[in-house]
Chain A
Amino acid sequence: MANTREVKEIAKRIKRDVIQLTSKNTGHPGGAIGAADIIAELYFNRLHHRPSHPDWEDRDRFVLSNGHICTALYSAMARSGYFPIEELWTFRKLNSRLQGHPSRIDLPGLETSAGPLGQGLSIANGMALAHRLRGSDAKIYCLVGDGEIQEGQVWESAMTAAHHHLDQIALIVSWNDIQIDGHVKDVMNIEPIAEKFKAFGWHTIEIDGNKVNEIKNAFDQFEQNTGAPTAIIAKTVIGKDVSFMEDEAIWHGKAPSAEEATRALEEIGTCSFGTDLITKEEY
């Protein structure tokens, strides 16, 4: 169990890993950095899981729907003991278990493959129905991007979760207002988000998704909610704490250069949890 200060420190480690991995191996840094606080809280404080027994049937499940931000997930998994930290360097390389978008059959601990947007909540719903049939009260946390909820299937599955009263489900919307072609409100407005979920019969909670205490409170509240699934609308900042990345659509999927990575690591700051994948001099 990790307190607010510890989770913040772990999130910093995840952000540093994301910068280093995407800088060297390509990938999508922005959304991953913005969701680091949420993922840190999940893997180091919230989930009942056993990294050495990823198939444990009664585990809580984390379903990453927006698969492109998988560097943050891989970092959290490695740092919590699912696989050796050095293996992070294989990300996006030939024969790696850490595919460019998550591949469930390759890496134990991944609950689903993902990448094609819009599918995660449907899969999470199926898992929730299975938990219920088995009489397990394990929780399912599903993370989606805000642009992602433009997909029709998200709303099909939102209806399904409410209709079947899947109160074990927390859907976290990482609302950074960025997608590939620009600001979400310019590309295809999705607001108001909370009102939409409310209208679909969901509990809703609105938070600053980069504030760990707010994330903790939201999950605490979710655990008390009954009768309907919970949507946590988490306002996040793409590239949070890296000044040149914040709120810039280009950083959705662009790898930082060596100089940019150095600057980013400086701005994120040193971290007392774990050690860097590589030292600054190696850039």
Chain B
Amino acid sequence: MTKAKSGRDGFGKALLELGEKNQNVVALCADLAESVRVEAFANKYPERYFQIGISEQDMIGTASGLALSNYIPFATTYAVFAAQRANEQIRLAACYNQANVKIAVSHAGLTCGEDGATHQALEDIASMRVMPEMTVIVPADENEAYEATKASVEWIGPIYLRLGRTPVPIVTNDTSPFQIGKARTLKNGTDVSIFACGIMVERALQAREQLASEGINASVINIHTIKPLDKETIINEVQHTDCVVTAEEHSIIGGLGGAISELLAEEHPVPVHKVGTQDTFGESASPEELLEKYGLTAAKIVTACKEALGQKEQNLKRVRS
């Protein structure tokens, strides 16, 4: 683990490089250019940058019009203002049109911090995941955000790229190349599988170390693409452990935990314990305080793993008796 930067930083860096490489890449913003790290692109390529003002619904429509005319637009704002304010515009103008729009959003989740509950999107993965045609990516760190941004230009169709505001340690340095829809197994294990996304990947790795010291062998898989879900990797993995914990900076309803539960209920039913916010809004505080208060910690993942293992044991006993 090396120097800490945020997901939005990785996005901004990649966007700037894309601007150089691909003349069809354009960017739009709704008055948050610095904050969503689109400013460098705007300064370097002013003719391909469109300030839309504080009108996110209009921005999604405009981006879709550009996409329907063969450009590759990145529409940028905060997660709440895209996935939630402009939800129906994303549904019609982007998804139903099969428009090649990339919606890159920052300040997702509790690590948005002091701005408080109004700005902390904890429901956006759910509302984006449910849209036909939509691809949902939640990078774990700056590196992965960089790679995901680059990959999203090669991918045809709307993408929701969920980025964080707060710097987190880099955890994806030495893994396989990034590929949309292909999960990254960071650590193998035999007792319990931890599927994590975003900033919770780092915490899952910490939890794994704690568990190892107690004699429990957990695997850690980075599910950076929530949709399309990498079913093959997940099922293969769960066939070894028969026991799952999910961890995400999002509600336990409808996000990564929801997606994996849906898959496993049909294909390979096993205990699934979810770490995430418990159907609640956040509040103002530092990111670290909030993650602690709302249980998005390595300790919570450890507890969830033990509970899931307990349930697996019970199920086995029931089968044996």
Q: Which residues from chain A sit less than 8 Å from chain B, CB to CB?
A: 57, 103-105, 111-116, 118-131, 133-134, 152-153, 156-157, 159-160, 163-164
Contact = CB atoms under 8 A, between A and B. Distances in A.
Task: Tell which of B59, B61, B88 has the most Cβ of chain A within 10 Å.
Answer: B61
Contacts of A156: 53, 55, 57-58
A122 B71 contact: no
Given A123-B62, A126-B61, A160-B58, A115 B92 contact: yes
A119 B66 contact: no
A105 B98 contact: yes
B131 interface: no
B97 A160 contact: no
Given A130-B70, A130-B71, A153-B61, A160 B88 contact: no
A122 B60 contact: yes
A126 B65 contact: yes
B62 A111 contact: no
Given A125-B62, A160-B55, A119 B93 contact: yes
Nearest to A116: B92
B264 interface: no
Contacts of A127: 65-66, 68-69
Contacts of A114: 92
A115 B91 CA distance: 12
B61 A105 contact: no
A63 to B, nearest CB: 8
Interface in B25-73: 26, 47-48, 50, 52-53, 55, 57-71, 73
A112 B73 CA distance: 17
Contact of B93 (A123, A133, A163): A123
Nearest to B26: A133
A163 B53 contact: yes
B225 interface: no
Given A112-B97, A153-B89, A130 B69 contact: yes
B96 A159 contact: no
Nearest to B65: A126
A277 B226 CA distance: 49
Nearest to B64: A123
A105 B96 contact: yes
A126 B57 contact: no
Contacts of A115: 92
Contact of B63 (A118, A126, A159): A126
B96 to A, nearest CB: 5
Given A126-B69, A127-B69, A160 B89 contact: no
A152 B62 CA distance: 15
A111 B68 contact: yes
Given A129-B50, A157-B61, A123 B26 contact: no
A126 B73 contact: yes
Task: Tell which of A112, A126, A157 has the most Cβ of chain B within 10 Å.
Answer: A126
Contacts of B63: 126
Contact of B61 (A103, A123, A152, A164): A123
A138 to B, nearest CB: 10
Contact of B65 (A105, A118, A122, A159): A122
Contacts of A160: 52-53, 55, 58, 62
11 contacts: A57-B69, A104-B68, A105-B97, A116-B91, A122-B60, A123-B62, A124-B65, A130-B70, A133-B26, A133-B48, A157-B58
Contacts of B62: 122-123, 125-126, 129, 157, 160
Sorted nearest first, the 4 A-B pairs with minimum C-beta distance are: A126-B65, A122-B61, A130-B69, A156-B55
Contacts of B93: 112-113, 119, 122-123
Contacts of A119: 57, 61, 89, 92-93
A113 B55 CA distance: 21
A121 to B, nearest CB: 8
Contacts of B89: 119, 122, 153
A128 to B, nearest CB: 8
Contacts of A116: 88, 91-92
A63 B158 CA distance: 21
A43 B97 CA distance: 22
Contacts of B88: 116
Contacts of B52: 160
Given A104-B97, A119-B92, A133 B61 contact: no
Contacts of B60: 122
